[in-house]
Amino acid sequence: MSGARAMDARDGHLLSERPSRRRLWTDRIATGAMAAAVIIALLPVVLIFYYIIREGLAAMNWEFLTQAPPFSYRREGGGYVNGLIGTLMMVGIATVISVPLGILAAVYLVEYGGRNLLASLIRFFSDVMTGVPSVFVGLFVYTAFVVPYGFGALMGAAALSIIMMPIVVRSTEEMLKLVPQEIKNASYALGAAKWQTVLRIVLPSALPGITTGVLLAVARAAGETAPLILTALGSLTITTALVGEPISALPLAIFDGARTPFAAGQARAWAGAFELLAIVLVFTLLARVAASRSSISR
């Protein structure tokens, strides 16, 4: 009897061990598959970064950062300082226009609008505008503003702000929804009005997420080319006028240099791509540091 019991115990141990081993191997296979999927997804990004850094650094110098391009794509030297100034102007103006309006729209959707008709329309058009090709935005601004007033930085900024605004609205709305209702109720219990709660409790609590959404919108705008072809047009000289003069931008300069058959123009395009990548990365890091410090200070 004791031998039979030992045999049953051993068989039971083996039966319980088999599912455990099966689950272990299933977990290992699934983990390996996920790791392989991540590597495959990151491989194109790593290759893009590698080629931009390798080719861009080879053509980058002080002259590139301080001078405008020559009037011939055959000639070596020169740089994209005109495109840098144009990008900073247009993206800066577009940010000033789109970020406050987008945040205010998101606050209305979460705190005031609810499910009424106006809130539903804002959500619908924000979703639609997020997926609309940017060239359509450029065509709209070209018809509405460029035809009567001419090319210029303000027209390019208008197109970029239209592209940025739905991203800011939808990302900010999602971040505001994550603020716990208990925090709001505590503010109301202390006698704070709704606008005080939104301004001093809700928005600061969601600031890191809002900053991330704004950065996504800025990065999207900084790399846009199609709407700027129809609104800013591009220029080989430094332009600071807001209306009435074509103005360059880094994406426009990169586009023009990359499609030229001359090595000098292509080298400047690689350097411009590296410069644009570095600018987006630096501003992203600075904004994230500022957002983290503000959240720690609270």
Rounded to 10°, the helix 2-59/263-297 angle is 120
The first and second tokens of residue 72, run together, are: 């011939």
Question: What tens-digit pLDDT sequence spans the chain (298 residues)?
Answer: 555 555 555 555 544 555 577 888 888 899 999 999 999 999 998 999 999 999 999 888 888 988 989 888 888 888 899 999 999 999 999 999 999 999 999 999 999 987 888 888 989 988 888 888 899 999 999 999 999 999 999 999 999 999 999 999 998 999 899 889 899 999 888 888 888 999 999 998 888 888 888 888 888 898 899 999 999 999 888 888 899 899 999 999 999 998 988 999 999 999 999 999 998 888 777 767 766 655 544 5
Does the model's pTM come out above 0.85? Answer: no
d(CA 158, CA 175): 26
Q: Give the pLDDT of residue 223.
A: 87
Name, in order, each residue with C-beta under 8 angstroms of 42's C-beta and a sequence gap of 6 or more: none
Do 252 and 226 touch, CB atoms closer than 8 A? no
Return the exposure string of 171-194: e unless at least 16 CB atoms fall within 10 Å of the residue's CB, then b: bbbebbeebeeeebeebeeeebee
d(CA 220, CA 215): 8
Q: Is 233 left (phi over 0), alpha (psi -120 to 50) or beta?
A: left
Neighbours of 224 (CB within 10 A): 24
d(CA 187, CA 197): 6
